[in-house]
Amino acid sequence: MAKVMKLRKATPAKTWASALEEYLLFKKAQGLRDITVKGHRDVMELFFKRHPSCWPDEVKEAVYRFMGEDIKPGTFNIRRNYMRQFFAWAVGEGCIEQDPMVGLKKRKDSGRVECLDEAEVRRLILLPDRSTFAGLRDYALLCFVLDTGARPKEAFSLRIADFNLRSTEVTITSEVSKTGVSRTLPLSPVTVQAVKMLIGVRHEMWTDEVPVFCSAEGTPLRNDTWGDRLELYGDKLGVKIHPYMLRHTFATLFLRAGGNALALQRIMGHSSLNMTRLYVHMNRDDLKDQHMGASPMQRIAGKGARMRGL
């Protein structure tokens, strides 16, 4: 009598870590840049750090818990984007049976961005203790991001060679830029001086490959570490601050000071003007100021003119 062969159920990777590493190799083979691959890694490692025992049988419940956290729509959508790709790959590879992301729709984001006002910025840059390396780095990094609007990961990757302090410029290379397009940004004198001071106290054993905005040990600065530092400064100010908030602050204050939206698009490294439009969220006072400066009747009649015949 012939034996009936049972079909074996696909065996998952030994660990979620090995599955993730294979997935990241796959993304690199697709041509994704290192900074984008790092985004995939950061989100998935955060998920598995929160739910280390969910793989592979309890992934669905863990995903619901992770995505159900009290987070902003933008954060939800970023997580959703990376996790959809990973779990779709995992199903295709037989690591898990069902895609836990099915049915989780993108959340609508109002587009309102959080930023500090000028008074809060003035107080913030006075907080770091510049007598320590970490404090001086924080001060220089605050100046840099508030002066250029650079993304945190872009700033963390900058080397000395990327700065031309004599010409008061910095180049965010295509390898570092999120969009893969290089851009050269102007620097204000206060930022140039801060970066000079930071470079001047670097350890003599550090090579040129050590990023300018690094840890006291000469290792690359992590976004979560920078977030923790900003949280401490925010506690002193009585304001909740996160890394991207500094980028939002630059863009908002740039526009309020009369900066051109097209210039802002180039500085921020946006691929389209639609992204830049998110920062044009004027409140009532902003609208009044703009109206007073741009109204045809204000220019034609003059500030001292009075309406007659009414």
Whether residue 211 has a cis bond before it, omega within 30° of 0: no
User: Residue 220: helix, strand or coil by DSSP?
Assistant: strand
> What pLDDT score was predicted for residue 6?
47
Residue 186 is encoded by which pair of tokens?
């102007």
User: E strand or H helix at 164, and its extent?
Assistant: strand 163-164
Per-residue pLDDT, 62: 96
Q: HSE-up of 179 (CA within 13 Å, CB side)?
A: 15
Report the C-alpha gap between 258 and 286 in whole angstroms. Answer: 11
Note whether 48 and 61 are within 8 A (CB): no
Per-residue pLDDT of the chain (310 residues; tens, 9 = 90+): 555 554 444 444 578 999 999 999 999 999 887 878 988 999 999 999 999 999 999 999 999 999 999 988 888 999 999 999 999 999 999 999 999 999 999 887 655 567 899 999 999 999 999 999 999 999 999 999 999 999 999 999 999 999 999 999 999 998 888 788 899 999 999 999 999 999 999 999 999 999 999 999 999 999 889 999 999 999 999 999 999 899 989 988 888 888 887 888 888 888 766 666 666 655 445 656 666 666 665 556 655 544 444 4
Q: Which pLDDT score is estimated for 286?
A: 61
- Identify whether the C-beta of residue 86 lies closer than 8 Å to the C-beta of residue 20: yes
Q: Is the pTM of this model over 0.85?
A: no
